[in-house]
Amino acid sequence: MKKSNIIMLIAVILPLGLFLFPLWKITLEAPQYPTPLGMYIHINDFADANPHDIKNINLMNHYVGMKYIPEAIPEFKIFPAGILITSLIGLIIAFKGNYKWFLYWFILMVVLSGAGLYDFYLWEHDYGHNLDPKAIMKFTNPDGTQMGFQPPLFGSKNILNFRAHSYPRLGALFLGLGIATSLIAYLVGRKNSKTTEQ
């Protein structure tokens, strides 16, 4: 087996870490929560950072009319399937493929990940803006529009008395490493093929 194919095989295996580790974490800090509330987003699940955090996030958020964080979302079925399918494709490429296919897989993964992030953004936007009209508390921005409570896609942001943090976790790192490794596999493959051609 060629060195580039071995690297490609590693690239394909790495994203499977998503099934072991959380993809993302959102943390909400406020004075009355000495232990911040937190939520992990796995490829197929939402999980408490500390016991009952999601329940307590829901309780806090209902004052401004935010919906309860659902038990499950359709993405929890689509994303794992997507990862499994791309991994299968990746495996075939790693065993059979030419280095050029490594680049196609890389592009495929970047596009799909981008789509996933965009979907996540849309979900967050809906969660933070689609508020119950009978909400107990109504807040407006200085320009008079309704205040949104969307957590940041990436980074930290103040939302009323909370400071919200949103950062990738180990699962995302594995995915990113896998994608980057596939590019390396492509570059190594290309270099080798050039050397052979010479």
Q: Determine the number of helices (DSSP H) and then strands (DSSP E) in the chain.
A: 5, 5
Amino acid at 76: F
| Residue 63 is a binding residue for another protein (CB under 8 A) | yes
Q: Which stretch binds another protein (CB under 8 A): 54-62, 78-86, 88-96, 103-111?
A: 54-62
- Give the Cα separation of 152 and 12 in Å (integer): 29
Q: Which stretch binds another protein (CB under 8 A): 9-17, 48-56, 80-88, 173-181?
A: 48-56
Residue among 31 and 144 whose Cβ is closer to another protein:
31
Residue among 54 and 179 whose Cβ is closer to another protein:
54
Q: Which residues of 34-63 are buried (b: 16+ CB within 10 A; e: fewer)?
A: eebbbbbbbbbebeebeeebbeebeebbee
Among 56, 113, 146, 192, binds another protein (CB under 8 A): 56
Which spans of this chain sit near another protein (rule: CB under 8 A)? Answer: 51-52, 55-56, 59, 63, 136-137
